[in-house]
Amino acid sequence: MSGILKIGIFGGTFNPPHIAHSIVADNVREQLKLDRILFIPSGNPPLKESISHIHRLAMTKLAFGNDENFEVSDIEIRNPGEKSYTVNTLAGLKEIYKKEKAELYLIIGLDNLIDFPKWKDPEKLFELSNIIVMNRPGYRIENTVNDYRAKAKFIRIPELDISSSDIRRKISLGQSVRYLVSREVLDYITENNLYR
């Protein structure tokens, strides 16, 4: 391990977390030689509707908590009444990891970079972290803002056509999602009667 701690920041609603999250996160970790990936369920995402943060945090811990390369943070969930802005989260993480002089790598999809103009203080995100952009099916680099595109690092990951919204739809229709989420997450969804 190098002298500087390299931490990948993988945020999302995780509504629910699924196997593609694990696969792409580990792929990014290997490509960039990161020391760990920090999964951060959003507390109150400004651009998305979601189920309770309590359920999403519990499922995120079940999905990723047993991998030595992964860690789950509740930094955005500690203040559930406030909107969760990535710029505030990164500033908070900088403070938490100040002693380790950690380098933060914000991992986002190409769809997120296209939406960057809607994010709070997008310029500051580049000051607080390295912006890592993963390819997403159906999205094109040409649709991003030139300034942001120039500052970001693009990496290719396996394109897996698995989405939380599709999993929720399947559950609501009574269809199987057995191999799309971990056994622990599936048990949690069933026990708590989520997405019905």
Per-residue pLDDT for 2 more than 60? Answer: no
Q: Quick check: is 173 in a domain? A: no
The pLDDT assigned to 1 comes to 45
Q: Quick check: is 181 in a domain? A: no
CA distance 16 to 174: 16
CA distance 117 to 123: 9
CA 76-160-174 angle, 5° bins? 80
Residue with tokens 């920041």: 9
The pLDDT assigned to 146 comes to 87
Measured between its terminal Cα atoms, the distance across the chain in Å is 45
pTM for the predicted model, two decimal places: 0.92
For residue 123, give the CATH number of its domain: 3.40.50.620
> Which is higher by pLDDT, 61 or 77?
61
Q: Quick check: is 22 in a domain? A: yes
Element at 69 (helix H, strand E): none
State the residue range of the domain holding 12. Answer: 6-161
Range with lowest mean pLDDT among 3-17, 74-88, 134-148: 74-88
Element at 9 (helix H, strand E): strand 6-12
CA 162-9-44 angle, 5° bins? 75
Whose CA is closest to 107, among 24, 2, 3? Answer: 24
Q: Quick check: is 184 in a domain? A: no
Give 81-122 pLDDT, tens digit per residue: 677 789 999 999 999 999 888 999 999 999 999 999 999 999
Tally of structural domains, the chain: 1
Write out the DSSP string of 141-177: GGGS-HHHHHHSEEE--------HHHHHHHHHTT---
Q: Quick check: is 71 in a domain? A: yes
Per-residue pLDDT for 195 more than 70? Answer: yes
Mean model confidence pLDDT for the chain: 92
* Structure tokens, 99: 């002693």
Give 38-73 pLDDT, tens digit per residue: 999 988 765 566 688 899 999 999 999 999 999 999
Q: Quick check: is 40 in a domain? A: yes
